Structure 1
Amino acid sequence: MATRQDVAKLAGVSPTTVSRVLNNNGYVSQDVRKRVEEAIRELQFVPNRVARSLRTQKCGQIACITHGLKNTFYAEIVQGIEEVALENGYTYSIYSTSVENEKYINLILEGFYDGLIVLTSSEFNNLVDSKKIREVIPTCFYWDLGYETKLPNVAVNLKKAMKNTTNYLLDCGHKEIVYLGYPKEGIEGVKENPRFLGYVDALKAKGIEVSSDHFLFVSNWNDTLTAGYEKVRELLDRGVSFTAIAACNDLMAIGAIRALSERGIRVPEDVSVTGFDDVEIAKMITPALTTVSLPKKEIGHTLMKSLLRQMNGEKLEGKIQEYESELMERETVQKI
């Protein structure tokens, strides 16, 4: 097995220079870096991660806490995190808060990771005090802009995004708009659900009565294809009049479309449907889903870059960057 000294000899440099290339630390000319990288490939040299961790007092790993990867919205953010992490010599582990298991919190706090990214801040706050976690490990959060915090975060205004979507449906002539998602109190531990509030604000601004008959609430983290399908079937069984559905994610919207189709209700000729997140399948189904697009991979890039800044000793507070949403007009909404 090749050693660092073997790489240095083949490249004609010192072992210290090899270390600088491996750790991306200190100046190395492009010509020398190229020789070292070629020697590494030729010798198939694999750095000893354990030895490096002892030497640098860093593990070279971060943890990412998410709701889970069934919804590819989170998967695309994680992809952005991964790209920046690997470029900077870090690997990562993913933990899911949709699993009722808090053991991973202890693992994170025991020092196995250099940093932490939290994509589901509301759930995470139910398990542990985020402020205390940050005192132990550099941490960055994906956050809704409606909640003020001093914790380092990358933010999106979900209330504004849903308000814009509901206004779009209203402008298309729809007045009986069904809301499909979490209730007003949102996920457990969240006092106000920004998407629901955006929906309500849009209706009230146009003087339209907000009717509980048009609320299709799902339980905690049950925002799936099946949930959308079953909730709309229940709505149809009740005989409630409606012309549009505003879903809180694309999976539920697609499930809703399936339920409507089974009852012979055409989308968008009979009922219009909008989603949220703009996951890949949204543009591939027929009809293609009108939805809210968020720059998911860019959010992941910013989260990881912000975490790197903290791990390098920089102190960050509050909102680091705010991302805007965009309504993608496709084929599931029709003017009436």
Structure 2
Amino acid sequence: MEEPGRRRSVRLEDIAQRVGVSRSEVSRVLNNRLREGRSVGVEKQQHIRRVAQELGYQPNKAAQNLAQGRTDTIGLVVEPGGDYELSPHYHEIIGALTGTLSEFGLQLLLHSWKDNAADSLAQLARARSCDLLVLTDMRTDDPRPALLRAMNQPFVIRGTALEPESLAVGMDNHAVGKLAVEYLAGWGHRRIFFQNIGRDFRAGEGRYQGYLDACRGLGLEQSARYEDRVWGEEGLYAYTRSLFTQPDPPTAIFASDELGALGVLRALSDLGKRVPEDVSVLTCLNARFMRRILPTTTTILVRQHEVAAEVGRTVGRLLSGEPVERKQYYLSPLLEERGSCAPPAA
């Protein structure tokens, strides 16, 4: 029974009765599911929308989504590390995506996989619980895009795509690798140690190619050193110490992320090496909160928050029906100088 004094919400039947058409026809017009050659004409469609507005009709979002096959949910597919830990850059990605998607009335679902990406992703796609999936941390032989295409599951890549027909938004990692070498060489360094994320990642391969191009252009092929099999704070701590037991140790070190840079700085401190007087240190800033931990370390900003926000806007426009060209979009890295680099010691 309707409560006294409480206004009943306007139903599709009310609009249908006022206009003189069926309830189903009103539903099709208001949900933009018109049948070519079988729906009411343009004037009647306009009449339906006008009456709906006059009566103050508010669509039931859940019912509308059910009718349209929509969930208004976007899935972010992540790969956790040991003990299901997420790297600092996910802090930026999740925050930016959640905020940007909410502006389009969309919500974010976090989906993680541990052992078998293909099986986990196929299960998610079959459930049809997401309108679109966002893939991140792309591998050089990543099977996920082909799998999702075969299952007719829409997706957008946060990173570098494997194929030109994929829609992707990412950081120009070739530019990151090139900038790191050129910046340190600009201070006069030739014995540069470049630590990279694994080349099995598209980002790592991009940085490696940028590193090679810079070394060739500057004649550093023999003096620069490269490594991508060591990572993390403890890994870089031990490796940095080992570098200074060898002839011609580096005068400048590039660490691929903040945790690696912490290991480098600890090792140099334990070795009695001053930064930047004895050794210059450069790293990438993936998470903005890490500035508090590395306040005086010069960084290359890979703009994780901005990349993820642009992914969110792209997804929102796509699901709103706006035309979006399916191609690779890149943001460029930015350099933030904070005093950890200087000319090599005489």
Instruction: Tell me, yes or no, if structure 1 residue 122 matches structure 2 residue 139.
Output: yes
Instruction: Tell me, yes or no, if structure 1 residue 14 matches structure 2 residue 10.
Output: yes
Supply the AA of the counterpart residue of 1:113: C
Supply the AA of the counterpart residue of 1:14: V
Query: Match for residue 72 of structure 2?
Result: 60
1:109 shift after superposition: 1.6
Query: Match for residue 41 of structure 1?
Result: none
Instruction: Tell me, yes or no, if structure 1 residue 182 matches structure 2 residue 182.
Output: no
State how many pairs are aligned: 301
Contact 2:281–2:341 (8 Å) recurs in 1: yes
Q: For residues 101-112 of structure 1, what are the structure 2 equivalents within 5 Å?
A: 101-102=116-117, 103-110=119-126, 111-112=128-129
Runs of 4+ deviating beyond 6 Å: 23-29, 47-50
Of 109, 126, 136, the residue aligned with 1:93 is: 109
Alpha-carbon distance change, 333 to 9 in structure 1, aligned in 2, over 3 angstroms: farther
Alpha-carbon separation, structure 2, partners of 1:311 and 1:14: 27
1:291 shift after superposition: 1.1
Contact 1:287–1:331 (8 Å) recurs in 2: no
Query: Match for residue 299 of structure 2?
Result: 291
Q: For residues 272-287 of structure 1, what are the structure 2 equivalents within 5 Å?
A: 272-285=280-293
Query: Match for residue 226 of structure 1?
Result: 234
Say which SS state the counterpart of residue 285 (structure 2) adopts. coil
Say which SS state the counterpart of residue 276 (structure 1) adopts. strand
Alpha-carbon separation, structure 1, partners of 2:261 and 2:219: 26
Say which SS state the counterpart of residue 209 (structure 1) adopts. coil
Alpha-carbon separation, structure 2, partners of 1:297 and 1:192: 19
Supply the AA of the counterpart residue of 2:155: T
Alpha-carbon separation, structure 2, partners of 1:231 and 1:64: 34
Contact 2:88–2:286 (8 Å) recurs in 1: no
Say which SS state the counterpart of residue 284 (structure 2) adopts. coil
Instruction: Tell me, yes or no, if structure 1 residue 245 matches structure 2 residue 253.
Output: yes
Alpha-carbon distance change, 286 to 53 in structure 1, aligned in 2, over 3 angstroms: closer
Contact 1:276–1:293 (8 Å) recurs in 2: yes
1:207 shift after superposition: 1.6
Alpha-carbon distance change, 92 to 116 in structure 1, aligned in 2, over 3 angstroms: same
Alpha-carbon separation, structure 2, partners of 1:24 and 1:306: 23
Alpha-carbon separation, structure 1, partners of 2:253 and 2:295: 15
Q: TM-score, normalised by structure 2?
A: 0.73
Alpha-carbon separation, structure 2, partners of 1:140 and 1:181: 25
Alpha-carbon separation, structure 2, partners of 1:60 and 1:294: 29
Alpha-carbon separation, structure 2, partners of 1:241 and 1:59: 56
Q: TM-score, normalised by structure 1?
A: 0.75
Query: Match for residue 207 of structure 2?
Result: 195
Instruction: Tell me, yes or no, if structure 1 residue 300 matches structure 2 residue 308.
Output: yes
Contact 1:232–1:256 (8 Å) recurs in 2: yes
Alpha-carbon distance change, 278 to 191 in structure 1, aligned in 2, over 3 angstroms: closer
Say which SS state the counterpart of residue 148 (structure 2) adopts. helix
The RMSD of aligned alpha carbons is 3.7
Supply the AA of the counterpart residue of 2:229: V
Query: Match for residue 208 of structure 1?
Result: 220
Alpha-carbon distance change, 109 to 307 in structure 1, aligned in 2, over 3 angstroms: same
Alpha-carbon separation, structure 2, partners of 1:317 and 1:132: 22
- In structure 1, the gaps of 5 or more residues are 18-22, 37-46
Alpha-carbon separation, structure 1, partners of 2:91 and 2:291: 17
Say which SS state the counterpart of residue 275 (structure 1) adopts. strand
Alpha-carbon distance change, 121 to 316 in structure 1, aligned in 2, over 3 angstroms: farther
1:271 shift after superposition: 0.7
Of 217, 240, 247, the residue aligned with 2:228 is: 217
Alpha-carbon separation, structure 1, partners of 2:243 and 2:334: 29
Identity rate of aligned residues, in percent?
23
Q: Deviation digits for residues 195-245 of structure 1, max 9, x if unmatched?
A: 122122212211223357x223226xxx42233223223323445511011
Supply the AA of the counterpart residue of 1:208: L
